[in-house]
Amino acid sequence: MADKEETGMTVFFNNLRRILCKPSNLLCMLVVPIVLSMLVIGLSGSVAVYTLGVADADDTALTRALTDAFGQKCDVIELETDDIRTSVINGDVSCAIEFEEGFTAAILAGEETFAKSYSLNDANGAEPAVLYINTIISAAKNLGTSANGDEQKLLEALDEVIAANYQAHYETYSADGRDAVENTVTALGYMAVGMMFLMTFASMLLLEDKKSGVFDRIITTQFPRWAYYVQHLLSYFVVALIQICVQFVVLPFIADVSFGMNLIEMLQVGLVCCAFACVCIAIGITVSRFAKTSLMAGGVISMVNIPMLMIGGCFWPKEIMPEFMQTLSNFMPTAWFLTAAETILDGEGFLAAAPQIAFMLGLSALLLAIDFSIKPTKAK
């Protein structure tokens, strides 16, 4: 006798319980994408700190002022002249500057002089610090020519130049700039990883129902087959919404990420995420409908998801891939997802992202049409 209890929203709530009460699903759904986003964004956004060794044999007000200026961008360590080469070679400092005796007098006299700089030839990471230091020293030389031997006048002019120009050029932009857009796209890429694996494996509940006989029991009752499938789809979509909402709320507080400059933009990015969730669900259901066993379904899902995520730019920028792979990525729903989101975050508007959204919804509709036009088979 068929079980008459499979009515109402039983399938929907039962699926939510089966998905959300499994720790591995919660790990894949929430923890992994957030942790990966934090690590990658943190590493890419870290600011290099340089250590500068200064050997000041001149020891004048000017050389001390220059050393203080260097300290705004570098960690300054005082060195003896004899220790410079050893400190650079051993990596104790990124680079070193030596002010020889008479340096200030030569500048005030308008004579040609220079501060010796030391760095390893292959230490390309120290080049920004060396450039900054040389720029300040060049400014001091130019000001010294017009100071007419007045060291105090030179110091005042140098302070104004440093305050007015150099600090502004080294300003770090906040979450409203291009860096934040790139960080957000990176976070969305790892969100796509979590969504694809969670949604595709969650939709394997259909396969489990066929294997356990739940599907056969339900279709022999008065419970409509279409309602069974609709509740499955609805449960997967609700789980995707939970995943999207949690990351939209949590990530901006722990990383330099902004899912939109205003509520409208955030909703637009959210709609793009929902369209991608539909693709993930459709792929999972397609695999579940054609696979004969859970082992086969799991293998196929991994073989489909991983290349799609890699080629689509979820793990790294598409620009670093060979040209033929970049061309191939144009046909990947993961690339459509990230392109649409980036378009909106760049301020181009929702309509500019409409083609990619249409591609995702069209692919979802096509896969679901194929899925529900075939007769289900008994899983083993």
**Does the pLDDT at position 41 exceed 70?**
no
Q: Where are the domains of the chain?
A: 11-43+177-371, 50-169
- Kindly report the average pLDDT of the chain as a whole number: 77
How much helix, strand and coil, in percent to the nearest 5, is found in the chain?
Answer: 70, 5, 25
DSSP letter at 216 equals: H
Per-residue pLDDT at 21 = 78
Most confident of 31-40, 168-177, 294-303: 294-303
**Does the pLDDT at position 24 exceed 80?**
no
75 SS3 class? strand
In the predicted model, what is the mean pLDDT of residues 234-253?
Answer: 85
SS3 of 136-179: the string is: HHHHHHHHHHHCCCCHHHHHHHHHHHHHHHHHHHCCCCCCCCHH
Pairing verdict, β 95-99 and 116-118: antiparallel
Cβ proximity of 256 and 44 under 8 Å: no
Cβ proximity of 334 and 309 under 8 Å: yes
**Does the pLDDT at position 43 exceed 60?**
no
Residue 99: strand pairing partners: 56
H-run or E-run covering 39: helix 32-44
Q: ∠ at Cα 56 (53, 60), nearest 5°?
A: 140
**Does the pLDDT at position 356 exceed 90?**
yes
In the predicted model, what is the mean pLDDT of residues 234-263?
Answer: 83
- pLDDT grade for 143, boundaries at 50, 70 and 90: confident
**Does the pLDDT at position 232 exceed 90?**
no
Phi, psi (rounded to 5 degrees) for 191: -65, -40
332 SS3 class? coil
Q: Which two tokens stand for residue 341?
A: 């989101």
In the predicted model, what is the mean pLDDT of residues 343-364?
Answer: 90
The correct CATH number of 50-169 out of 3.30.1370.100, 3.40.366.10, 3.40.50.2020, 3.40.1710.10 is 3.40.1710.10
Cβ proximity of 308 and 328 under 8 Å: no
In the predicted model, what is the mean pLDDT of residues 47-51?
Answer: 66
pTM: 0.63
pLDDT in tens, 152-171: 777 777 777 666 654 444 44
DSSP letter at 98 equals: E
Count of Cβ atoms closer than 10 Å to residue 345 Cβ: 24
- pLDDT grade for 6, boundaries at 50, 70 and 90: very low
DSSP letter at 117 equals: E
**Does the pLDDT at position 379 exceed 50?**
no
| Better-predicted residue by pLDDT, 146 or 261 | 261
In the predicted model, what is the mean pLDDT of residues 264-289?
Answer: 88
In the predicted model, what is the mean pLDDT of residues 43-47?
Answer: 52
